Amino acid sequence: MDYHYFDTREIAKLAQEHYHIQCRVEPLNGYDEANYLLTAADGKNYILKVANDTHGIHFLEAQVQALEHLSDSTIADHFQRCIPNVVGQKVTHII
């Protein structure tokens, strides 16, 4: 899957479907993944990352584990936190 084909409307639809977040979407710069700033109706901000299978699922899961480790540290406020999707997973597979 090539993540470059997602437009902001599709990202908003995915955010609603998989995270129950109604939002405005703004593309951000990314290196290996496409990143989007989601601004929810309640004013909260989220980052949604879309990746293809270049590095495989284990790479994404390692990123989640690193962020979870940092979220338990004294510098946790300097890092984003991963939120689970509607089925409780930290990585959402879209086929």
- 77 or 23, which is more confident? 23
65/42 Cα distance (integer angstroms): 28
Three-state secondary-structure class, residue 72 = coil
d(CA 16, CA 20): 4
What pLDDT, on the 0 to 100 scale, is given for residue 1?
Answer: 45
Would you state the pLDDT for residue 24?
A: 97
Length of the chain: 95
Task: Provide the mean pLDDT of the chain.
Answer: 88
